[in-house]
Amino acid sequence: MTEGTNTTAGSPPDERQQLNGRGGRHRGRRGRHAPPKRGARPGRRAAPAGKGGGLARSSLLMAVGTVVSRATGLIRQVLQAAALGTGLLASTYNTANTVPTGLYTLLIGGALNAVLVPQLVRARTTHPDGGRAYEQRLVTLVLCVLAVGTALAVWAAPEIVGLYMRDTPDNHEAFELTVVFARFLLPQIFFYGMFGMLGQVLNAREKFGAMMWTPVLNNIVLIGMFGAYLGLMTAPDHVGDITASQVRLLGAGTTCGIALQALALIPYVREAGFRFRPRFDWRGAGLRKSARAARWTLLFVLANQVALTVVTNYANAADQQLPTAGAGYTAYSYAQTIWLLPQSIVTVSLVTALLPRLSTAAAQGRTDDLRGELSRALRLTGAVIVPAGFFFLALGPQTATLLFGHGTADASSAQPLGQMLQAFGLGLIPFSAQYLLLRGFYAFEDTRTPFWMAVWIAAVNIALATACHHLLPPRWAVVGMAGAYTLSYAVGLLLTARLLRRRLGGRMDGKRLLRTYGKLGLAAAPAGALAWAVAHGLAADGAAGTLRTALALTTGAAAMALGYLLLARLLRVGELRLRLR
């Protein structure tokens, strides 16, 4: 999966685009420093990034919105699994639903996430009109690209689906169903792009809340859709049993949810002062710089998408061989979604608030501030991410059974999903850290280095996934692919840290980071072992009932939380004492 959909990711230009060529200081048209914002006192320097109350409070606001969004998303996913199961039928819908996300990310999503915030911030501080004309041109360009890309994707749906799922005589029925779903779902590309573009306009103004809260509307629509599917229709078990009305409900309902999510941002951008006026005078407007930055971003996203396509193809092959075992693509995607929850709630929220500050620090040559913010972000997120990784390792099967062992699925078909969750487990630590470190390059508008990191990660992931596909039996092949994903990001973290250390003048607060993560690991590992022992003692049987599984999971989680907090206190892990300043 991509980092940004994984969800997902992007990047900033093949050359550092610092306007004076070296040293990292931003030279605007009016002199050495960017002009002060309207209303600011003359001669007063901006506060360094991270000072004051902004970062922690903005991160908390986004984290709360993300928690609500992810909670409703989890309810939606549980209903989806109950309606469609975790086998081949579910994979036809989930594969088709992966296609618009991947194409959106490839078309423009990566650039929106990582290139355009620094560009928009720079335009707002250096352009005489506060960046208004630049924003209007950029939004116009993005919407045009999205409209054309969406139309072409709907037209080429069979060829695109063929990249993710093999069309064989034995699998033709599933392939055709996936194409039908894709034609309903591909218009999401346009609405994903609208949501992303308007969200970045808000982020550049340091208005973060709406982008974190509006996905709740999408989840509410999908909860209603899957509820209606379960309540009003007979849920099919096999691909051939699904009816045209069920396909229409699932396809149209899913796209309507994304459209509502995007359109809901319009009042917020208006309130923030943005007025959209189509502008096609792109020549000579400074967009060439964004295009150069996006070039490497697109290559970055392409590397991730190639890996995603290979893994999806292999996972769908496992589904075709074992159509009801729950050991293929749907199980992989559900496990990865659950695994990414701590990253989405903690790391992404913090990074969204942090990136404009990092960009400002890089533009003003304040390397020490940039280094300090990255170190602080790594330590704060690690306090949650490290124990979360051990939680999935210890309690993955119980989590999967409790969430997905219902409806057309059962406890036995949820077991492969739980084992995939365990295989992903500890990979959350390098995944989150690497995601954060890449933002150091993006702050310098360097997109070439993240691209090469993505190439290495994708190459390792593809090589290991291919080995799993050919050497392991279908029941275990995709579990192995989850472990391959973990190992690929461990390699990526080592390479990223080494290169960023060079970029930051040979220093990256490494001793402090290693000491903090060492303490966190020493606290989380025994706590995870305790959780496993407690849960295994209460529900050793994988086919235990719902109440017994829930008791085992909650008791194990409580034991782990108490053990972790106690050990962290004994080890004096200060990062657990976060204060809003």
Tens of pLDDT, residue by residue over 515-543, are 999 999 999 999 999 999 999 888 765 55
Averaged pLDDT, 124-128: 69
What is d(CA 111, CA 134) in angstroms, rounded to the nearest whole number? 16
Burial (0-12, 13-18, 19+ Cβ within 10 Å), 23: exposed
Least confident range of 35-44, 169-178, 527-536: 35-44
Instruction: Please state the pTM of the whole predicted model.
Output: 0.81
Q: 460-511 pLDDT, tens per residue?
A: 999 999 999 999 999 999 999 999 999 999 999 999 999 998 888 777 888 8
Least confident range of 189-198, 317-326, 333-342, 350-359: 350-359
Cα radius of gyration (the chain): 23
Only one residue has tokens 């959350």, namely 428
Least confident range of 39-48, 104-113, 166-175, 308-317: 39-48
What is d(CA 576, CA 580) in angstroms, rounded to the nearest whole number? 12
In 17-167, which ranges are continuous DSSP H helix? 54-84, 88-104, 110-114, 116-126, 132-155, 157-164
Closest CA to 350 of 49, 86, 115: 49
Q: Which helix (H) or strand (E) holds 5?
A: strand 4-5
Up-side HSE of residue 340: CA atoms within 13 Å toward CB? Answer: 24
Task: Kindly state the tokens that stand for 10.
Answer: 């992007």
What is d(CA 90, CA 84) in angstroms, rounded to the nearest whole number? 5
- Are the CB atoms for 103 and 149 separated by under 8 Å? yes
